[in-house]
């Protein structure tokens, strides 16, 4: 059976989650207090309803506890976001993802039992900053305060070298998880795998180690 999702709040973030889930063929209930927004998503979501998610009875009548995953994408109104999350937790929703507006909001959401808290503006800001500093950094995912996964484009410095020659694990303490070449992805590449200019390396490691490696091997065109 298809997974059932509910998206509460149809701003830019909630709206794009709703569209992306539908494109992946998922069932999506879109909820917003704003009738215009609900009308806009009526043809995109599987169902779209005008409802206030801070109303416990409304959530119950929508059968929210039966959804596999509920995404709370209420931004500005932190009080509504917290209250909605609390009621979803109380009603036993299995997976709750909530968009946080700031660090305090995030802290409260974690405390009251949100399963995942996302911070899209902050995370995108970090990614863009990395990409601005080095155009070889294609993507960046913060795993914790110290560890990240990074996508790096191979340039001249590493072209034609094998992973054993580059010896990235010993020299920089980072691990290459995969190498993408066009459509092909080599997951857990062998030590003999040879790197070509334009390959994309997916690397995991401590931020300080990644930075050292980036400067030494990827700071070129
Ligand atoms: P974005 O940056 O994603 O555009 P935003 O941070 O500006 O969003 P808001 O506009 O504050 O977020 O909220 C997103 C949506 O959530 C709005 O369309 C708003 O009508 C809706 N919303 C706010 N409170 C509730 C609520 N209690 N129940 C349902 N929807 C709500």
Q: What is the pLDDT of residues 105-124, one digit of tens each?
A: 999 999 999 999 999 988 88
- Average model confidence (pLDDT) across the chain: 93
Worst-scoring range by mean pLDDT, 49-53, 69-73, 117-121? Answer: 117-121
Q: Is the CB of 37 under 6 A from ligand 1?
A: yes
Nearest ligand 1 atom to the CA of 11 is 4
| Structural fold of domain 122-217 | Alpha-Beta Plaits (3.30.70)
Does 221 have pLDDT greater than 70?
no
Instruction: Region of 19 please: left (phi>0), alpha (psi -120 to 50) or beta.
Output: alpha
Ligand 1 atom 6, closest CA: 75
Please, which residues bridge with residue 69 across strands?
A: 5
Ligand 1 atom 7, closest CA: 75
Choose which residue among 31, 54, 77 to substitute to test ligand 1 binding: the one with the highest number of ligand atoms within 8 A of its C-beta: 77
Instruction: Region of 53 please: left (phi>0), alpha (psi -120 to 50) or beta.
Output: alpha
Asked, colleague to colleague, whether 4-118 and 122-217 share their fold, the answer is no
| Structural fold of domain 4-118 | Rossmann fold (3.40.50)
Domain ranges of the chain: 4-118, 122-217
């Amino acid at each position: 059976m298809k997974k059932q999702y509910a998206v509460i709040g149809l701003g830019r973030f909630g709206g794009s989650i709703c569209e992306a889930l539908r494109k992946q063929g998922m069932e999506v209930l879109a909820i917003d207090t704003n009738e215009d927004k609900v009308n806009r998503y009526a043809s995109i979501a599987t169902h779209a309803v005008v409802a206030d998610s801070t109303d416990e009875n409304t959530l119950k009548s929508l059968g929210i506890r039966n959804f596999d995953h509920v995404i709370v994408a209420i931004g500005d109104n932190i009080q509504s976001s917290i209250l909605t999350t609390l009621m979803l937790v109380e009603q036993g929703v299995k997976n709750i993802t909530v968009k946080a507006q700031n660090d305090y909001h995030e802290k409260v959401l974690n405390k009251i039992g949100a399963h995942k808290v996302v911070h899209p503006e902050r995370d995108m800001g970090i990614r863009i900053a990395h990409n601005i500093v080095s155009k070889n950094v294609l993507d960046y995912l913060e795993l914790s305060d110290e560890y990240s996964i990074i996508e790096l484009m191979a340039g001249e410095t590493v072209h034609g070298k094998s992973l054993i020659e580059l010896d990235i694990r010993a020299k920089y303490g980072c691990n290459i998880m995969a190498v993408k070449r066009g459509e092909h992805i080599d997951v857990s590449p062998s030590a003999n795998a040879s790197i070509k200019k334009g390959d994309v390396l997916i690397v995991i490691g401590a931020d300080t180690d990644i930075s050292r490696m980036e400067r030494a091997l990827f700071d070129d065109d």
